[in-house]
Structure formats: C-alpha cells, structure tokens
Amino acid sequence: MRVELLTVGDELLLGDTVNGNAAWLGRRLADHGVDVTRSVVVGDELDVIVEAVRAALGRADAVITTGGLGPTYDDLTRDALARAAGVGLVRDAGLERRLRERVARAGRELRPMALRMADVPEGARILRNSAGSAPGLRVELPGGIVYALPGVPFEMRTITDEVVLPELKEIAGLPAVARRTLRTARMWESVVASRLAEVEAMDGVRLAYLPDPAEVKVRITVAGPDAAGRLADVEARVRELLGDAVYGAEDESLDRVVHRLLAERSATVATAESLTGGLIGAELTAMPGSSATFAGGLVTYATDAKRSMLGVPADLLEEHGAVHPDVAAAMAAGARDALGATYGLAVTGVAGPEPQDGREVGTVYVGVAGPGKSPIVAAPRLPVPGAGPETRTVIRRMTVVHALELLRRVLVGLPEPDPDDPAREDREDPG
Amino acid sequence: MRVELLTVGDELLLGDTVNGNAAWLGRRLADHGVDVTRSVVVGDELDVIVEAVRAALGRADAVITTGGLGPTYDDLTRDALARAAGVGLVRDAGLERRLRERVARAGRELRPMALRMADVPEGARILRNSAGSAPGLRVELPGGIVYALPGVPFEMRTITDEVVLPELKEIAGLPAVARRTLRTARMWESVVASRLAEVEAMDGVRLAYLPDPAEVKVRITVAGPDAAGRLADVEARVRELLGDAVYGAEDESLDRVVHRLLAERSATVATAESLTGGLIGAELTAMPGSSATFAGGLVTYATDAKRSMLGVPADLLEEHGAVHPDVAAAMAAGARDALGATYGLAVTGVAGPEPQDGREVGTVYVGVAGPGKSPIVAAPRLPVPGAGPETRTVIRRMTVVHALELLRRVLVGLPEPDPDDPAREDREDPG
C-alpha cells in the first residue's frame, strides 16, 4: 500500500505556512502501518494540480490532498479532481442546504462564492466534516483513490481519523510493524546511538533518533511476524542500555512526568527563572490541572530582583555575579520559601548572544531545593549552536529541559554526576 | 526563473520532522524575487532521488535539495547527483583534510564512514559550509543547476545566504515585484480582509493574510514597473484603512515594539501571569538586552499566590473568584509595586479545557497599571478553537498577544474600546 501526499497552496511554496499537515499525516499513517512514499507541494494552478494528481497515482495506490477546498476562486482542488476524472462539477443539494443554514445561524448573508463549497465532481463521495464547513471528497480515478481534505489542520485531522484512516487500514490489511518511542533527556544523540549499536544490528529492528534541544527520542520499529511481541523484548533491552536517561515513552513529556512524580509525593514546586524568563513556568502550566502541583513562580531576570524577591545574598551577587552555582541554589531555596512549596527549581545562566558577568554563552546552573536538604546544583555544558539569532532560543529551550530533568532526578532519587568528571557522557561533543 | 525544492529524508515522510527547511527557503527566495514553483519530499532511496532530480529539472531552471549529505549510509544525495550526471564520486583532498582536523581537535578517532562527507560527484563545485562539517555541492546537469545543501537548518541557511541566493539573483535579474508585510493584533482576519477590499481590487496588487493566534500579518505584493514606488503608496493606504490595529512591519514583533516604547519613555514593566504561566515573561525576554525594560514577573497560577505575592484582596477573590476584571487590575498594580516597575501587566482567565470559577473557557481579563493612574482592563472575547488539546495552547498564545497589545496601546495613548459595545470589530465571528 503506497500513499502519496499532495498539498495545494501558494502560501506553502512562499513559505508563509510550514507544511505541518504533511508531517501530521505522515506520522499518523506510519503509526497505523501505512507508508507515505512521497509528499509534493504545488501552487494554486489548475493544470499543475491535475498533472500532480495523475503523476502521484502513477506511482501510488492512493493520494491524499490537503488544501484548495475553500470558497475563494483560488481554491481549485475540486475543479482539478473533476478534470482528472473527466467529469463535471455538480452542486450537491445537501451541502448547499447545510451551508445556507450555517450562514443563517451566524446572522449573515451567503456570498455567492461560498456556494462553490457545495460543488463536487460527479460521482465523488462526500466525506462529512464534523469540524467545519468544507467537506472532504473521495474520488476514484483509473490509477487509484484520491482523498481530498481541507487545509485547516483541525478539520483535516478530524476527517482523516474518522474516514480516511479506517478505509486505508482496511485496504492495507494488518500492519506488519510495531513501533514504540522512548524519550531521553540530557544525553547527546551520538551517545544514545553508540550505546544502541547492538540493537541497531538486530534483524528486523530499525531505530530512528529524533533530537530536540537537550532531548532525544528513540523510535523503535520492529518488522516481521510477531512484531508486537518482539518489540517488548527490544524495548526492555533499549531501556537497559540507556539507563536512567529514559524518562518516559510516547507522548509522556517531561513536564507530565514531573507533575506525576510530584503528585505521587503530595508535593508542589515553585520556580525562579532568570535566562528562561518564564518558559519553565509556562511548561509546568501547559497541562490542565497543573495548579495541584505547581505553586507558582518568579521571573527574576534583572540581577536586583534576585535579591529583593528571592533573598539571594547581596554579597554573593556582588562577588560572583548572577551566573553562579550558589546563586542557583539560593534562588531555588528562595522560590520554595516565597511560595510555600515543597521544592524550589531555579535557573541562572547566559542565553547570549553576548557573554555576561564574564561567563560564556551557554553557561547555565540549575538548582533544586528540596524539603530540609541543601540544594542540589547541576552545571550542564550546553553546546552553543552557532552565533545566529536562534542561539538564544535553543539555549533557553535546553535550559528548560535540564531544569525539569534535574527535578525529576531529585524526585526519583537519582544521583547527579560529578560536574568535574571529564568522562561524563553528557559532555561529549555532539560532532 | 523557476526553482524547485527537493527535500530528502525518511524522517520527513514519517512526519518525525516538519519541513521547516522548505518553508524557510520558499520565503527567503520569494523575498528576493525568485519563485519556488514546486516542493517535493522523497525518502532515502537512490533511484527515487535520481528520478526526482531529473523530473524537477524537466520543469524548472534550478533545483535546491536539502538533506542526505551526512556521513551515514542512508545519506544518498551525493550518489544520486553523481548518477544523474553520469559521473563517479571522487574524494576531495581538501575536504578530507578538514574533516580529519576537525575530528582530531575533538580528540576523537575518524570513523571510516565519516569520510563519505569528503566524496563529491566529479565536476561538482564545493560550497563551503562555514557553519558545520557537511559542505554543499553545486552540480550542472543538462536540464539546469542543482544546489545540494545539508539538512541541518543552520548550515542550510548559511550556505543559502552566502552562496545560493547571490547566484540565483544574478541569474534571475532584478525582481519585478516589491513586498511588504504589516502586522496587526486583535483584529479578525475577516475584518482585516473586508477593510482592504478596495486595495485587493487594485491592478497588480496582491494581498496575503497570514493569521496567527490574535494576530494577522498582511503581506502586500506589488508587481510590474516601478513596483517599489507603488508599494509605498499602497502601504500608506493599507495603514489608513487598518488604523491603529497595525503595530509594526516586517520582523518587528509585538514584544520588540513594547520594548522600544518602554525604552523611549525610560520605563519598565513587570508581569503577573495566571493562565499563561510565564509565557508573557518568556516573550518579553526573548530579545537580548531586554533586562533594561523588563523588571521581572510573578507567576501566580494558584489563586492563593495572587493574594500572598501580589496583594490581591482576599475578599475580592472570595466574592468573584480569580477570573474577574478587578483581579486583573489588582494583579497589575501588585506586580508593578512588587518589582518597582513603571508599569504592571497582568492576565487572569480560563485556558481550558474545563470552565473555572463558573467562567467559560476563553474568558480572559488583561490589566495594565500605569504610574499613578487606575489600571486599565481589557476583556477580549477569545474564539475557542474547538475542544481539542490545542485549545489550551491557542488560548494561552492569544492571551499573550492581547496582553502585549494592551500595554502597547496604553503606552502610545490609544483608547480602549468599550467592552460592552456590540459593534466592536474584534468581537466578530471569524467565520
């Protein structure tokens, strides 16, 4: 079963929109054992769309198009499919009625242009869109099936899950692959890969490394008979080889793990942020219901606020500047106390692009203050990704991960590696 | 001059990576008057890449490929270009020397596989990569030119700007189009579009609307002789029609505008955040040097922290709950006073997915407390984008924009519309 994607829209070629629809579809289909073999973007030109549909069906069994189903005159997917099928467009009475009702409910007048959304190629099946107004279409052509979906992500996803995926899975049969994604933090991609060399050499096993700032996701794919059964064994071996760098699986992100661990301990955390400016707090409130375990935070971006809001000793700041392990420790304790939380989590460092207080860009200290113990401080050495404007963004993001990961390690009682150990694997050059 | 993009990599088809490279290249080339006419993604298969390069050159004058230039055996772009050109691969002595030096500097051994990065198709020109180890390649084929760039975004961008763009611009000649992007906040896309109907009808003028949560960017494209001169007139008319909703142009984001306005007034701002959990602080520290105008912030996510950290009156919280205009006002004043800033900026609201304190999802109050005046509160009605997990993300993002925009309006002295006026255009259904 070979599926190609065809995305229609000038805005994608011009780079105004990133093709997130293609990525989502690729992932969704792969998760269900259907492989996307090519993905093409073309502009809003009738001839080009017709040619692209035909070429895709010359290679694949099915084509999923997104975009070009709206009401404006540069929405041409309907016309292109009709032409590719050698049929005309007909107005669907049911679609027209629903459009008129929708507009009437909003108290507005129907623009004649909008009726285009009720036109379908003769013989096409209408795919109901429970999430919006533009329906999807299913057209059978000599070379295969075309599913035409709207470009609005939410609507595209809804129709895919409700209609397209069930149909494709039925055609493709049971998938012969099983997949699992494990999530690691603070370990270089090259270290992860070298540890997993023996797994990579196993028959029928494929590993993919998906790096994010300070995180690497490892996707294990096992193919062949009893794929699901073998996957369990392979996963166990991968976990063994990666040890405590694995913090979760699938969609279990680091903030979710931290919330779970805190809840299990009836504990809360308060944050004190310098270079991240609020990103850690934002991450810890991304999940609904997070107020049960997140007590609040302080953004002490300016040095003086570290003193006045968090009680960091003035002489410490004077002697060492704001970027120092002891400052991270004092900030963590200060946040814990100011917000009456069980734990305090703090970061201070240099996001760049310029050095600060004599410290290089990428110097970061993370502090965790627990109940009644002296704070633990980590000093990750962050790889500085070039000197461009993204440097700051990436360093801030890496700092968020290192902060949440240190808190996780403290919560589950993992030891912190000696910051001066030259053999520390999290310090290796990423190459 | 027609250019096609060819992105190589299984990870893109599987949706592990979003094709940000294609979006960046499309935008960059368009900004310099070079149009991308198609964009194709294929997997790591030699024959498929060769065929895709040939097909692209059958339609376009030049092809830019990204990806497949790394050291591993599934990096096949070099081989594919050699085969498409009917030549062999030769090892480049200069590239090999640089690779060996780089590895030696890191104190590691050269893996034999890595030497693949020193192989180039016979006759290809090497495009120096000042940002990393994989060089770009330029190969002339019968149908046109191929620029092969590495997939690492930072490296790809560097070679594009240093080598590819200057060459393409010289081939393409002076662009016959001029472009300008204006940025608006708090106005629906449909309202922006209807206000600009007369501009849309102008000869040789094209408008594109690029919506983000609570923001719409309007890109004006003027084609034809004296495009640059006409653009100035068109821009002036667009600004007139959109009024004070326009806050900036090109890359001048809302946080930058706010920092500039604060600096001009020698003023600072402090934040108090509820539902956004730190996102406003993160936005206000995204820019280097922001500590001059950002005093710091408080994340008072839990209701009690609003009282203890910001001095919001307990009876107010008891009577109305945390989501109330008076709470937003008290939070803003509290943040201003706690951090000794000129202005306090606060938000409180319901991000969902569940209602809170009897308030619907999307209910948000933004408060700005200025020096010596009573706080100003805005009550935007945010459109709730469905009931999916993205709802929370989008509402938080919209809240950040509404907060920064209210501060901007206060700083430049714009009046706040009556919250109860049913004719408010920012309340129209987005359709």
Q: What is the mean pLDDT of each run of 10 residues along chain B (431 residues)?
A: 95 91 94 90 96 97 95 90 97 92 78 87 92 86 95 90 91 80 90 90 88 89 88 97 96 96 98 97 95 95 86 94 95 96 97 88 95 87 71 92 97 77 45 34
User: Any CB–CB contact under 8 A between A38 and chain B?
Assistant: yes
Q: How far apart are CA A123 and CA A408, in angstroms?
A: 57
Taking CA atoms, what residue in A is nearest to B12? A23
pLDDT at B390: 76
What percentage of residues in chain A have a pLDDT greater than 90? Answer: 66
| Average confidence (pLDDT) over A208-232 | 89
User: Any CB–CB contact under 8 A between A288 and chain B?
Assistant: yes
Q: Where do the domains of chain B lie, and which CATH numbers do they carry?
A: 2-172 (3.40.980.10), 177-249 (3.30.70.2860), 254-427 (3.90.950.20)
Phi, psi of B368 (to 5 degrees): -125, 125
Phi, psi of B149 (to 5 degrees): -120, 150
Structure tokens at A403: 């902060």
User: Any CB–CB contact under 8 A between B275 and chain A?
Assistant: yes
Taking CA atoms, what residue in A is nearest to B271? A299
Mean confidence (pLDDT) of chain A? 90
Query: Using the 8-state DSSP alphabet, how is residue B7 labeled?
Result: E
Q: Do A27 and B15 touch (CB under 8 A)?
A: yes
**Nearest chain B Cα distance for residue A331, angstroms:** 14
pLDDT at B386: 64
Q: How far apart are CA B273 and CA B279, in angstroms?
A: 8
pLDDT at B417: 67
Taking CA atoms, what residue in B is nearest to A219? B16
- Which amino acid belongs to residue B66? T
Q: Do A288 and B30 touch (CB under 8 A)?
A: no
pLDDT at A146: 98
**Nearest chain B Cα distance for residue A386, angstroms:** 7
Contacts 24+ apart (CB under 8 A), B415-421: B416/B376, B416/B378, B419/B378, B419/B379
pLDDT at A431: 35
The residue among A264 and A102 whose pLDDT is bigger is: A264
Interface contacts A/B by beta carbons within 8 Å: 246
Q: Do A40 and B41 touch (CB under 8 A)?
A: yes
> Is residue B3 helix, strand or coil?
strand
Give me the residues of B, 181-210, that contact A with CB < 8 A.
Answer: 208, 210
Alpha helices in B248-324 (DSSP H): 254-264, 279-284, 303-310, 314-320
pLDDT at B429: 37
Residue A209's pLDDT band, with cuts at 50, 70 and 90, is: confident
User: Any CB–CB contact under 8 A between A321 and chain B?
Assistant: no
Give the residue from A19, A189, A253 with the most B CB atoms within 10 Å of its CB, the best one to mutate.
A19
Which positions in chain B touch A131 (Cβ < 8 Å)? 386
Q: Do B281 and A271 touch (CB under 8 A)?
A: no
Per-residue pLDDT tens for A322-346? 999 999 999 999 999 999 999 999 9
pLDDT at A210: 83
b/e burial code for range A259-289 (CB count within 10 A of at least 16 → b)? bebbeeeebbbbbbbbbbbbbbbbbbbbbee
β-pair type (A62-66, A144-149):
parallel
Give me the residues of B, 40-99, that contact A with CB < 8 A.
Answer: 40-43, 48
Q: Across A98-102, A389-393, B66-70, which has the greatest mean pLDDT?
A: B66-70
Taking CA atoms, what residue in B is nearest to A291? B302
* Short-list B180, B179, B177, CA closest to B223: B177
Taking CA atoms, what residue in A is nearest to B208? A11
Q: Do A296 and B299 touch (CB under 8 A)?
A: yes
* Short-list B340, B339, B313, B338, CA closest to B327: B313
In terms of Cβ atoms closer than 10 Å to its own Cβ (0-12, 13-18, 19+), residue B387 is exposed
What distances in angstroms separate CA B119 from CA B112, B123, B125, B174, one per listed residue? 12, 12, 12, 36
The residue among A419 and B102 whose pLDDT is bigger is: B102
Q: Do B281 and A299 touch (CB under 8 A)?
A: yes
User: Any CB–CB contact under 8 A between A223 and chain B?
Assistant: no
Which positions in chain B touch A278 (Cβ < 8 Å)? 271, 273, 277-282, 285, 297, 299
Q: How far apart are CA A334 and CA A317, in angstroms?
A: 14
Q: How far apart are CA B157 and CA A90, in angstroms?
A: 47
Per-residue pLDDT tens for A105-128? 767 777 777 888 899 999 999 998
What percentage of residues in chain A have a pLDDT greater than 70? Answer: 95
Block residue for tokens 């890359």: B251
Q: Do B299 and A281 touch (CB under 8 A)?
A: yes
The ipTM (two decimal places) reads 0.84
The residue among B365 and A171 whose pLDDT is bigger is: B365
**Nearest chain B Cα distance for residue A351, angstroms:** 8
**Nearest chain B Cα distance for residue A377, angstroms:** 23
Q: Which residue among B24, B37, B386 sits closest to A43, beta carbon to beta carbon?
A: B37
Judge whether residue A144 has pLDDT over 90: yes
